[in-house]
Structures are given as structure tokens and as C-alpha cells.
Amino acid sequence: MPSQHKSQRYVVVGAGPVGSLAALYAAKRGFQVEIYELRADLRDPSTTPLNFTKSINLALSERGITAIKHANEPALLKSVMDSTIPMRGRMIHGRNAATGELYEAAQDYDVHGRAINAADRGGLNKQLLDCLADMPNVRFFFHHKLTGADFRRQKAWFEDRSSSTPKETEISFDFMIGADGAHSAARYHMMKYTQMDYQQEYIGTLWCEFQIMPRPGKTATDNSPDSMFKISPNHLHIWPGKRFMFIAIPSEDGTFTCTLFMPDEGYAKLDADPSQVPAFFDEYFPGVTDLIPPTELVASFKQNPHLPLISIKCTPYHFGSSGVIIGDAAHAMVPFYGQGMNAGLEDVRILFETLDKHSVTPSSTPQSRAAALAEYTATRTPDAHAINDLALANYVEMRASVLSRTYQLRKSLEEFLSVHVPQLGWHTKYSRVSFSNERYSHVIARSEYQGRMLSRMFVAVLLPAVAGVAWLVARYAGAARRGGGGGGVFQPVLDLVSRGLARVGLRR
């Protein structure tokens, strides 16, 4: 029997960002922590990150930061934040249909000026591993692949690949935390012990990485012509292509990691003739070929993998007192809300808060952990499912809605109310997701409520007003055409209203 006392063995499977943070939370609470990781130690310079050409840049926002903060390692938090770049909004790139000129249009994420942060995923992971390496109750097992787990007998099997002849090792554990990503072996084995509902969807879109290199010989880090950054470093750049999307996120070294999201059939077409890639970019993502030379575009398209996007929902996340799955293992999502890792880090905070609430310590009984895990599954499932849905919906927003007037009008109204009538507690959906720790399921409920209220306000107040103004405009415009003197003293006001209506798309 695994022990229930001081030496309680917490086994973490997967040393990605989520598993590493979970190991840190467990170690800080005095458990004996063992981390088993399929790959080599990321901190080893010869290691190439799985699936990624370099290391993907991602957006670290409030939930991830809060989770790292709650690890109570101020030096870790500082080093993580020091190596991020704040992105205060989206920069939409396009070409003016009338003049043919390229344009950039900034859209701040938050009316209160808050920003999300561009972070190097590998760098963040390394900082977490460094922090763990200093802890006496943490042991690493790299090159170890989970191949089997018996959650009843609390035993697990790993293939030890650290030598040229892989061998199987058996271990026992008190508690296993499965943080082994979207294709989780921990989840697969847990399913044999619990009646897990499971749903996965490939969304038919692939992603491929590209790079915008820094301006040679430049060192400034602002948005000036002397900057090493070719485009603003403080924005997440989007080239919305309706059915496709190209985005760029800054890195500290002046490069931008870019991602092309496109349906499978689009990739198939370009795969057949990659020399068409620059022309494709010129058509759908104007200006990119000025930032990435066509030869580099073609080379990246050919060399870098074209990877699928998967969305996974399941529940429960635990079995008895012996195991739990977190992060992508529990809820892999499409990356369009920039929340996959943030939600996974938040899992860690919520899981350990729940364990603390049930007084789970190195000397407590398994019963208290079982009660905590049941509560964790019950509270976390609606939230994880909610962010999966939000992430899917945000794909449409990023590649198309950002250009829509209705979307911009709603954003402006909600921001206006957030600033001028704060007692209403109105915020945009984006700011609730990215700048708060509000439960994801509440975010959806609040956003739907605000949407309903706005529609009612529109019908009750704006619609009659707009109809009245439209009637006046029509009447006076008709009079003017008949030579009747137009709107007289009201004419400037009517012109203004008319232009306003045209701007929000209610009149052409």
C-alpha cells in the first residue's frame, strides 16, 4: 500500500508548463514530488521542442499570472514577467479597397489600458523547471513515457528511454497528476477506471509557423524606424482573411513568431505548388511579403509542420483519491482566445485551493483528497467546457468579426458603460476572460446577459430614435432635392446624424 504519511508520493506526468507548476504547488506543500517527462530536459540546449520549430510564443494573461503568483515564489514571478512583452491590443492589417493602400488599425483590448503579455512558452517552462530544480523534495525523470496506470492499486508503468535499450519501470504512487497534454496517456488509462464522458473535435484547420526577422543593426525596442521590431512590439498583429488568418506575436529578440491558420484544403492547394505561397499572401494578407521575403515564406511553408487543432472536452477529471488530469490533458482547446495554457495554470491554482480547503496535507487521509477531487471536477467542468466553447467562437471573431461594425459598436458601448457607469459592472467578454479570474462559465452567462440588455436597449430606445432621425433625414433630403431649402437650421445636425448612422453601418 502506498504510504499516507510524510513521504506521500505525488507523481506528476508531463513537465510542460502545467505539470511543472503543479509540481511546484505540491512541493511547496511538503509532498514528495516526482516528475516524469517523455522528452529530454528542455534546459538542455540540444533539445528541440516537440512539435515546434523554435518555441511558440503565446499570450500569458491574468489567470496564468495569478496562478504563478499563488505559487508564492516572487523571484519566479519576476523572472517570468521580466521576459514578457505587453501587448495592449490587436493591430489589424489590411488594404484599403478604394485607394489600394496598406493600413494598420489598432484595437485596444481594454478600455482601462490593461495588456496581455507575449511570452516564450519554452522560456516560461524552463523558468518553472529551474525553480523546481532548487527544491529538495522534487525528483525529475526525463525520457520517461507513461505506458500504463492502475488507479485502483496506485501503480504506474513508464518506458525509460534514457539509455539506448528502453526498459520498463514500475512505480507506486499516492496521487498522480496527469498533465501530459492533449494526447494524454494518463487520461487514456483513467478512462478504464471511471465513467468518463469524452468528446474530441478536429476543427479542420491547420497551423504553420513563420518568422518575421528583426531589422538588422537596430537595437531600439520601441515602435520607431530605429527599432529592431519591424512592426509594433506592443500589439498582437492580425491579418484577418475571413476564412484564413495570419497572426504575429513579438519576441524579446526582435523577431515575431507568426502563425498561418487555414482550412486543410487551403494547405492542400499550396502544398501542390508552394511557389504560389507569396502570391497567396499578397492576396489575403497584404503587407506580409514586405516583412517576410517571399523565399523565406516558401521555405517556412515547406519546412515547418502543418499541424491540426484539436478541441477536447471530458469529465470527470479524477478517479477516487488517486488521480486527476489537468491542462491540455483535461481540456485541450483551439488557441484563438489565447487561454489554453492560462486555463491549465488556473487548473493548478483551483485544484490546490480545493485540496487546501479539504485540509489535504502530507499526513491527511485519502478520503479528504477524494472529497476535494470530487469538488474539483464538479466546479471545474463547466468552466473548462465554457472556455473550450469561447475559444472556438473566437476564431470567427479574430478572422472576421474584428472587421464588423456591429462587433465594434457593441465593444464601444460595453466599454463606455464600464468606464462611465462602473456600478453596472459591465465589461467586454474579452476583458472578463483575459483580465480577470472570473469563472469562465460566469463570463458566458454575463456576456449573454449584456447582449440581451443591449438588444432590449436598442429596441426600446435606439430603434425609435433612429427611425425618427431616419425619417427626418429622408424628409429633409427629399425637400432639398425638390429645392425646398433642405433642413434649414437643422441641416448641420442632420448631416452629422446621417454621417454617424453611416459610420455604424445603419445608413449607407
**Contact residues: ligand FAD, CB under 6 A:** 13-19, 36-39, 50, 56, 58-59, 121, 145-146, 179-181, 185, 207, 259, 327-328, 335, 338-342, 344
Q: Cβ of residue 98: shortest distance to ligand FAD, in angstroms?
A: 34
User: By C-beta, is 41 or 282 nearer to ligand FAD?
Assistant: 41
Is residue 334 within 8 A of residue 311, CB to CB? The reply is yes
Q: Cβ of residue 96: shortest distance to ligand FAD, in angstroms?
A: 29
User: By C-beta, is 45 or 100 nearer to ligand FAD?
Assistant: 45
Q: Cβ of residue 421: shortest distance to ligand FAD, in angstroms?
A: 31
Specify which residues 207 forms β-bridges with: 261, 307
CA dihedral 466, 470, 471, 477 (to 10 degrees): 160
Instruction: Name the pairing type of β-strands 323-325 and 175-178.
Output: parallel
Alpha helices by DSSP H, listed for 51-192, are: 62-69, 74-82, 121-133, 185-190
Q: Cβ of residue 478: shortest distance to ligand FAD, in angstroms?
A: 53
Q: Cβ of residue 464: shortest distance to ligand FAD, in angstroms?
A: 43
- Give dist(CA 456, CA 453) in Å, integer: 5
User: By C-beta, is 34 or 180 nearer to ligand FAD?
Assistant: 180
- Give dist(CA 403, CA 152) in Å, integer: 53
CA distances to 115, 230, 286, 378 from 227, in Å: 21, 7, 22, 49
Q: Cβ of residue 185: shortest distance to ligand FAD, in angstroms?
A: 4
DSSP 8-state assignment for residue 424: G
Q: Cβ of residue 503: shortest distance to ligand FAD, in angstroms?
A: 32
DSSP 8-state assignment for residue 455: H
**Radius of gyration of the chain, Cα coordinates, nearest whole angstrom:** 26
- For 235, the enclosing helix (H) or strand (E) is strand 235-241
User: By C-beta, is 96 or 147 nearer to ligand FAD?
Assistant: 147
**For 16-98, where are the E strands, in sequence order?**
32-36, 57-60, 85-87, 89-95
User: By C-beta, is 330 or 469 nearer to ligand FAD?
Assistant: 330
User: By C-beta, is 31 or 36 nearer to ligand FAD?
Assistant: 36
User: By C-beta, is 172 or 361 nearer to ligand FAD?
Assistant: 172
